[in-house]
């Protein structure tokens, strides 16, 4: 299969359509969840059209909740300073615009240094409407299913036994020792990764750091978290891949190393995200609400 993260490239054009970007990205990768973590269903169920509105939606909702409740604030706190200062603060009430440097309407003022009129000279604006919780939940569900649908359609051309190889002769034939669908896997995975890399570079260049330093987890918690995640990823990859090394084809071992190692790293990140806040408060109680020293 293509590298799972490459599937996020399929939802990049949809990020400005009013749907939650995080839900789109999670949905675009959630069909591969059974390869990374033990789940009640297998990959065949999550890679079907029925699974888009079934298992994929359920798994996506769970991952969406874990991401926003634990992983997003934790990832922001342990990220390098240059990256952390470019990311928006994790706010449970984004409509209130608590951060003074956050721009909710970037299209109205694209230049970061453009002078603005004093607020007293502006015409009064009506209060923003509050989005009903049911509508927000519906948007999340639609974004998750839309992202999962792009994944299922993508893989239908890159896996044997799917629609593409059954209806497109080139995908079913062998070319230079590999079937066409396998070439489609490798090519689409590389193109997707390249598209994400270009998007990230463009975002980095067009997003200036915030003038105010963002809160960090502190050096001890940051180092301990990255160490635990790295050790868990390595241990999970080794435990899954070593038995498969006896097979004549090494691709099976590589697949298990990437998927099981990634699942172990994700589990370690969840544990660290749950333990980091109380440990940070205990280590530095006087500055619990301030920005600790940079890692």
Q: What is the pLDDT of residues 17-54, one digit of tens each?
A: 889 999 999 999 999 999 999 999 999 999 999 999 99
* Of 223 and 3, more confident: 223
* Residues 268 and 226: beta-carbon distance below 8 Å: no
Nearest to 178 by CA among 153, 164, 158, 162: 158
Q: What is the pLDDT of residues 230-283, one digit of tens each?
A: 999 999 999 988 887 788 777 788 888 888 899 999 999 999 999 888 877 776
pLDDT at 91: 45
Phi, psi of 16 (to 5 degrees): -110, 30
- Residue written as token pair 């241990």: 235
d(CA 23, CA 27): 6
d(CA 82, CA 60): 30
- Residue written as token pair 């440990």: 279
Q: Which of 109-123, 139-153, 230-244 bottoms out in mean pLDDT, i.e. has the lowest? A: 109-123
* Residues 29 and 196: beta-carbon distance below 8 Å: no
Q: Is the pLDDT of residue 172 over 60?
A: yes
Contacts of 59 (CB under 8 A, 6+ apart): 30, 33, 39, 46
pLDDT at 19: 92
* Percent of the chain residues topping a pLDDT of 90: 57
pTM over 0.75: yes
Strand partners, 175: 178
């Amino acid at each position: 299969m293509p590298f799972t993260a490459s599937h996020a490239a399929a939802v990049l054009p949809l990020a400005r359509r009013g749907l939650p970007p995080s839900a789109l990205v999670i949905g675009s990768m959630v069909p591969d969840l059974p390869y990374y973590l033990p789940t009640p269903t297998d990959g065949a169920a999550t890679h079907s059209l029925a699974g888009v509105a079934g298992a994929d939606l359920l798994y996506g909702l769970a991952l969406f909740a874990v991401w926003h409740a634990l992983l997003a604030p934790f990832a922001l706190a342990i990220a390098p300073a240059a990256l952390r200062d470019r990311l928006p603060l994790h706010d449970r009430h984004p409509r209130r615009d608590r951060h003074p440097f956050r721009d909710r309407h970037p299209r109205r003022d694209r230049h970061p240094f453009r002078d603005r009129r004093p607020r007293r000279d502006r015409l009064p604006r009506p209060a923003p409407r509050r989005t009903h919780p049911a509508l927000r939940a519906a948007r999340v569900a639609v974004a998750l299913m839309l992202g999962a649908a792009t994944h299922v359609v993508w893989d239908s051309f890159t896996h044997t036994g799917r629609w593409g190889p059954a209806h497109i002769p080139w995908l079913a034939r062998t070319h230079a020792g590999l079937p066409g669908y396998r070439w489609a896997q490798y090519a689409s995975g590389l193109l997707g990764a390249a598209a994400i890399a270009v998007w990230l570079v463009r975002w980095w260049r067009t997003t200036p750091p915030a003038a105010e330093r963002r809160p960090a987890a502190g050096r001890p918690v940051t180092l301990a978290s990255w160490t635990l995640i790295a050790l868990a990823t390595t241990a999970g990859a080794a435990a899954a891949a070593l038995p498969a090394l006896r097979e004549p084809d090494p691709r099976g071992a590589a697949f298990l190393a990437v998927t099981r190692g990634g699942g172990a790293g994700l589990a370690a990140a969840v544990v660290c995200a749950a333990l980091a806040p109380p440990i940070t408060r205990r280590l530095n109680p006087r500055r619990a609400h301030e920005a600790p020293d940079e890692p």
